[in-house]
């Protein structure tokens, strides 16, 4: 059995031609109430796009990808007990009015895409007809402090693939995807591998990125693609490693886009969030411009740019995560 993206919705920052279903409310105030408000709004947007009967919607199992879960709520109440992340997944599912099994996935920045891969397994094995996948990363101090301590943040702004890039800019997002047995985009393959050299490394190994892209293309039975969604978030060595991998994989470079200049690096949410934004843009016939990219870095040789998307059918979607998880998703328009 094949699996498909049936519908996707997202709350995030925006940029020209990068249009979320809703803007995030300002951070601050009661963290949990804000999370609930965002969750319920994304749920409403997703529900109307998915068009599932209410009885099927209510039975949806829910997989939540996040690297921080409800750490933000704990920060707001320092004396509170740190609850188990599985409870966060159950709570989110409840806000989505989905009462199937809920679990939380944490593989850092690839969490949401790992959850999508598990959802694909569940649909293709026949275990579930539909699965709800959430990617959630909401404001908290610890994540920012941790990335700052590791020296990975930009002092200015995110500039993916640009010679002036100087690090990541973190962002918030709440992405949601329904994976089903039918839909407008087929999940042709999801490849996620572990880079043995990636433990606490500032960037994944280029050979591992190339291997993962090759595996995704091979599993999909493709030699060429129409569009590559880069991981590129503006990390000096991260973007370089990905560029080298891309150049070793494709004799002729495909059209490219990075979304991290538009919404920031949304870590565990980035899979579902960037997927929702990209599929929305493609549905409008547009490959969005890469915010923050101004000119080609000769060392990278990559030139992401806005384009007409009407002929795009095959998309490769890259992500790489802190701790060595590297992912590539192949999507085909049906």
Residues in the site for another protein, rule: CB under 8 A? 67, 69, 71, 74-75, 78, 82, 84-87, 89-90, 101, 103-108, 114, 117-118, 121-122, 124-125, 127, 141-142, 145-150, 192-200, 322-325
Q: Specify the residue, 98 or 278, whose C-beta has the smaller distance to another protein.
A: 98
Contact (Cβ atoms closer than 8 angstroms) between residue 271 and residue 278: no
The SS3 of residue 91 is helix
- C-alpha–C-alpha distance, residues 45 and 155, integer Å: 35
* Phi, then psi, of 112 in degrees rounded to 5: -65, -35
Rounded least distance, CB 126 to another protein, Å: 10
The SS3 of residue 62 is strand
Rounded least distance, CB 325 to another protein, Å: 7
Q: Specify the residue, 63 or 282, whose C-beta has the smaller distance to another protein.
A: 63
Q: Specify the residue, 147 or 293, whose C-beta has the smaller distance to another protein.
A: 147
Q: Specify the residue, 23 or 145, whose C-beta has the smaller distance to another protein.
A: 145
- C-alpha–C-alpha distance, residues 104 and 63, integer Å: 6
Rounded least distance, CB 309 to another protein, Å: 31
Rounded least distance, CB 67 to another protein, Å: 7
Rounded least distance, CB 85 to another protein, Å: 4
Residue 142 CA: distances (Å) to CA of 36, 47, 71, 148, 320: 21, 32, 8, 10, 21
Q: Quickly list DSSP for 10-57.
A: EEE--BTTB--SEEPPPS-S-HHHHHHHHHHHHHHHHHHHH---HHHH
Q: Specify the residue, 114 or 270, whose C-beta has the smaller distance to another protein.
A: 114
Contact (Cβ atoms closer than 8 angstroms) between residue 329 and residue 274: no
Rounded least distance, CB 323 to another protein, Å: 5
Q: Specify the residue, 47 or 74, whose C-beta has the smaller distance to another protein.
A: 74
């Amino acid at each position: 059995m094949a699996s498909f993206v049936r519908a996707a919705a997202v709350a995030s920052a925006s940029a020209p031609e990068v249009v979320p279903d809703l803007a995030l409310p300002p951070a601050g105030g009661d963290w949990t109430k804000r999370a609930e408000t965002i969750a319920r709004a994304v749920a409403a947007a997703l529900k109307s796009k998915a068009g599932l009967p209410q009885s099927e919607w209510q039975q949806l199992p829910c997989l939540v990808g996040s690297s921080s879960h409800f750490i933000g709520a704990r920060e707001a109440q320092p004396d509170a007990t740190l609850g188990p992340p599985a409870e966060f997944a159950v709570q989110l599912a409840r806000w989505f009015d989905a009462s199937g099994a809920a679990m939380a996935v944490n593989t850092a920045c690839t969490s949401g895409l790992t959850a999508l891969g598990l959802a694909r397994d569940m649909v293709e094995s026949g275990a579930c007809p539909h699965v709800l996948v959430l990617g959630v990363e909401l404001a908290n101090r610890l994540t920012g402090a941790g990335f700052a301590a590791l020296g990975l943040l930009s002092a200015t702004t995110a500039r993916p693939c640009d010679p002036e890039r100087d690090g990541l800019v973190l962002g918030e997002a709440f992405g949601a995807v329904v994976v089903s047995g039918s839909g407008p985009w087929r999940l042709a393959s999801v490849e996620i591998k572990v880079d043995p050299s990636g433990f606490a490394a500032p960037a994944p190994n280029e050979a591992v990125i190339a291997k993962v892209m090759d595996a995704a293309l091979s599993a999909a039975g493709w030699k060429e693609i129409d569009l590559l969604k880069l991981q590129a978030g503006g990390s000096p060595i991260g973007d370089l490693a990905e560029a080298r991998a891309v150049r070793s994989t494709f004799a002729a470079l495909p059209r490219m886009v990075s979304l991290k200049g538009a919404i920031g690096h949304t870590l565990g949410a980035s899979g579902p969030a960037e997927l929702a934004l990209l599929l929305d843009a493609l549905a409008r016939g547009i490959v969005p411009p890469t915010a923050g990219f101004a000119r080609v870095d000769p060392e990278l040789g990559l030139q992401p740019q806005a384009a007409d998307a009407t002929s795009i059918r095959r998309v490769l979607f890259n992500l790489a995560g802190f701790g060595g998880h590297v992912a590539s998703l192949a999507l085909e328009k049906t």
